[in-house]
Structure 1
Amino acid sequence: MISELLVNDEKTGPAPAALMSLNMLIETEGRNYTPAEYSAWLEEAGFRHIETVWFDAPGANGAVIGRKP
């Protein structure tokens, strides 16, 4: 389970996630990632039944959940 401030697959929002991603690009070498990116990495690592659950909480707006057989 990856709980994160996720940007949408178009990388245009939601606003808090897009702004945090921009800040990370300026201040570090990283950025916020999309559910599709996390899903691809989880699948590559052998996880299955991958789903994204969206919610509203401080510091996170979703979780990407996968199960390893």
Structure 2
Amino acid sequence: MVLDDDETGPAPAALMGLNMLVETRGGYNYTHAEYRTWLEEAGFTDIGSTPLAAAGANAAIIARKRPYTS
């Protein structure tokens, strides 16, 4: 479940975030921007997301990693 960048929705992701805080130590749902930042720092490009209408998932984060060349 991926949160919008303002962390207010979509509702299922926000509710899952609340559940994570209640059920786990330091549990948290992350935003599109947080995933983008981490992927960029790891050298990924062409970062985007595809919306999903699935139980327990609202998006697939997709990125490309260029092959290592020396």
TM bucket, shorter chain: 0.7 to 0.9
Q: How far did 1:56 drift?
A: 0.8
The count of aligned residue pairs is: 65
Q: Which runs of 4+ in 1 moved over 2 A?
A: none
Could you tell me which amino acid in structure 2 is paired with residue 60 of structure 1? A
String of CA shifts for 1:40-59, please: whole Å, max 9, x gaps.
Answer: 10110111110111121111
2:6 maps to 10
Q: How far did 1:15 drift?
A: 0.9
TM-score by length of 1: 0.87
Separation of aligned partners in 2, 1:10 and 1:52: 16
2:19 maps to 23
TM-score by length of 2: 0.86
- Segments of 5+ residues of structure 2 without an aligned counterpart are none
Larger Rg: 2
1:34 maps to 31
> RMSD of aligned C-alpha atoms?
0.8
Separation of aligned partners in 2, 1:41 and 1:30: 18
- Specify the SS of the correspondent of 2:59: strand
